[in-house]
Amino acid sequence: MHSEAGVLILIFVSLALIIGASVRSLVKSIQLPYTVCLLTIGLCLGYLQRTGIIEQYTPLLDDTLALVAGVDPHLVLFLFLPTLVFESAFSLEVHLFRRIFAQIALLAVPGLIIATTLTASLAKWIFPWDWSWALCLMFGALISATDPVAVVALLKEVSSRKRLETLLEGESLLNDGTAIVLFTLFYGWVISTQASQQISLLNLTTNFTWVVVAGLLVGVVAGGLIMLWIGKVFNDPLIEITLSIATAYLTYYIAESLHVSGIVAVVALALMFAGIGRTRISPEVGEFLHNFWGMMAHMANTLIFLLVGVLIASRVHWDNPESWVTLGILYIGIQIIRTFSIFTLIPLLKKFSGGITREKAIVLTWGGLRGAVSLALALIVAQENLLPKEVGDQVLFLCAGIVVLSIVINGSTMSWVLARLHLNQLPAAKQATVDKAKRLITEDLLKLLPKLMGNSFLKGADWDEVKHNTGLLRPIEVKDSEPTQISSQELTIAFRRRLLETERQHYWLQFEQGTLGKQSTNKLVEAVEHALDGEPKIAPRETLYRYWQTPPLLHLLRNIRGIKKIAVSLSFSRITLGYEIARGFIQAQDHLESYIPSLAPNEEEAVAVKQLIAQNKQKTQEYLEQLRNTFPDLVHTLETHSAIRTLLNRERTVVKQLLNQAVLDKPEAKRLVQYIEQRMARLQRVATFAKPTSPEELLSQLSWCKNLSEETQQQLVKIIENTLFSSGEWVIHQGKPFYGLGIIAKGSIEAYEYHLGKKFRKTLGPGELVGSLSLLSGVSPGDYQAMSLVNMLWLPGERLKQLMAKDSALAEAIGELLQPEYIA
């Protein structure tokens, strides 16, 4: 029996995928959403199976559909939800999700609670079956979970409304989790053996918070562990993709077994994959991983909507007129409730992330489709027999009816709604940029055309037909937008936004080519995303400049005894990061300049943006010049590694080209690529950091140290403390408590020292001393400011004094240092 059931499942999966492929081919020429067609086919199959027609002609198919109709609802949740939730969250733009998270959370939590409460009240009022409040609230929770998959797919096809897509998908992801949590709590109340049990609002809130927060923690912990593992894998798609699948399902199962939200856990996991995971996953695997999960989601959607259709048609009783009337009223009521909950939250939504327009609010309202989650929860109620059978049948009928009506009516009419709201096209300013790109493509084809016409192998071509089919008979087909329709400010914003998006993509390209590291890529992408927030900002880039300065935390740490060495190590690591960021930024700015002539809306804007890019480059070049002067060895090493990575990437590309041209056989090419990637992996594991100056080397070069004994020099080396100062940073302020001697190892310092009531200015360089007079007074004798990146070695006064007491030669040398010459 087990093998027979397995064969039936295999038949259903194969049949479903064939139906899905056929439907997808057909929907390209019609306007119906893919999921609507699948649901309709599933309903027809379920109805035919119920009538006995299929059993008469194809018993095997009848057995298959009968098996499907008896599927365990928990299996629906555990089999399909991890895939659908992970893919949906993994495909989100994480920065945009974070930016509008307040809006998403408002819709997914307060919005769903409002919908649940009002739906429960509607059920209590109109349902003829005298349900209890607990049952009404349970039904309100399960029917309020939205599944706008058809709407999001349509938006992606007809327009580029990223914010709206993210809002719809984000709300769906989070309110699925909210709905399941509320359903579980209310369902437990309904089936409680204590009929008089009352539910406390405080208890409900506490349980809800725990389930959500704990689910989030499970996802974050799982994501952190798997990121560490994947980060150590180099370009192995089998391992990286396998780990993503296993982790998604295990995370959901572990969270659910701990009685916390599995959906929230998987969402957190997927967002970590989409965020920090993008630089942990091998660059060669990233796109493949997205395509793989897209395929997984497509298969899951195909199976689940056919499954839902068969389940509804085969299990729901259709012969009760009272239930049909109740369903019709419920459908209308749910649309009104959805409208009320969205528009009630609009004042709050407008306070976050740029607000929301009336048109988008209408799409959110009409796009509140119900889907697999609601139906799986209804099946749990109907199948577990913990409630009277007639109650389970009523819940299943109403839920199935709402799922069908919302998908068929709302889903199939959404394209008309989008058209009426003018959301089925790009924003005017963005469309103008696209039109300009189309003109560039046409111009490029026109330049290529004479060469083709002169090709001896194409002389017999009908060039009029060629021009007609390629649109070159009328090369300027794209119409310019009328000036009155798009303001110059809108065009400027669209142009600068496009440039920033191009810049972001260039960082990912540098990462894929191996010329940017993981951390620097993340920081550069993050800086672009900050620049995209609100009005796009080409320059200045304060979020990048801060990586070229010493952060306040390091200021604090390097003054705490016991962890100074850690602070210094972090400071030098930050220099390495700052160099990579600066180099990647310069390359991206050069890349942007090439797009200005072709995409700028007018000459004035082109000049303005060129000036901003020049400002970025100047600021960055100044920092790079400081690094080259202060740490030439570091720059040499980093540039060497960059050159090696570039050549290794090129070598791998050439091998793949030779494989495509059959110059190399597959096994030969595979061995060559493996050898190249082994060298890439070794290079990636080599840590490259700015190194502090060797105290031994520095002391050996100082004239006042040359006559000291070797033992004294070794004692000086032991007490030296290394530190680092950014350009413009104050080293010491005049009059502040200070007792020590500073030796400049690298860089330069501007000193303002006070002597006999007069102020003297000095520029101090490598080997020169800072604050020597503090050995007499115990306070800083002046103000000292770093003019460039400065590596400073400190001799603490107390420990230096102890050495001076033991070695008269050292005491004499230090005494001579305390008689400086001042330059006014």
pLDDT at 824: 37
Q: Are 398 and 327 in contact (CB under 8 A)?
A: yes
pLDDT at 160: 63
Q: What is the largest CA-CA distance in the chain?
A: 113
pLDDT at 819: 66
Task: Compute the CA torsion angle 235, 239, 240, 246 (nearest 10 deg).
Answer: 180
Q: Which residues have CB under 8 Å from 760's CB, separation 6+?
A: 752, 753, 754, 782, 822, 823, 824
For residue 54, CA distances in Å to 42, 66, 182, 289, 723 come to 14, 11, 40, 40, 82
Q: Are 33 and 154 in contact (CB under 8 A)?
A: yes
Q: Which residues have CB under 8 Å from 339's CB, separation 6+?
A: 365
Q: How many CB atoms lie within 10 A of CB 715?
A: 18
DSSP one-letter string for 473-529: SSS--SPPPPTTTS-HHHHHHHHHHHHHHHHHHHHHHHHHHTSS-HHHHHHHHHHHH
pLDDT along the chain (824 residues), means of 10: 71 90 80 76 86 83 83 81 88 85 88 92 89 90 81 66 82 85 86 56 78 92 92 86 93 91 91 88 85 90 84 76 89 93 87 77 87 83 81 86 86 83 73 74 80 80 78 53 61 86 89 82 89 85 82 70 72 82 90 85 88 91 84 78 82 86 83 82 66 74 80 84 82 84 85 77 84 82 85 84 84 76 42
**CA angle 142–143–149, rounded 5-degree value:** 105
CA dist., res. 783 & res. 254, Å (int):
59
- Helical pair 283-315 and 73-90, crossing angle rounded to 10 deg: 150
Q: Are 41 and 23 in contact (CB under 8 A)?
A: yes
Q: Are 236 and 282 in contact (CB under 8 A)?
A: yes
Size of the chain, expressed as the number of residues it contains: 824
Q: Specify the DSSP class assigned to residue 739.
A: -
Tell which residue, 270, 274, 298, has the closest CA to residue 24.
298
b/e map 287-314, b = 16+ CB within 10 Å: eebbebbeebbbbbbbbbbbbbbbbbbb
CA dist., res. 811 & res. 795, Å (int):
14
pLDDT at 269: 94
Q: Phi/psi of residue 425, each to 5°? A: -145, 165
pLDDT at 339: 92
Which residue intervals of 549-694 are DSSP H helices?
A: 552-557, 564-593, 596-599, 603-630, 632-660, 666-685
Q: Are 558 and 564 in contact (CB under 8 A)?
A: yes
CA dist., res. 753 & res. 749, Å (int):
12
Q: Using DSSP, how many helices (H) and how many strands (E) does the chain show?
A: 37, 8
Q: Phi/psi of residue 235, each to 5°? A: 50, 60
For residue 777, CA distances in Å to 509, 610, 730, 757, 771 come to 57, 54, 20, 15, 10
Q: Phi/psi of residue 784, each to 5°? A: -125, 125
Would the pTM count as exceeding 0.85?
A: no
Question: What tokens were used for 426?
Answer: 């790009």
pLDDT at 252: 92
CA dist., res. 584 & res. 591, Å (int):
11
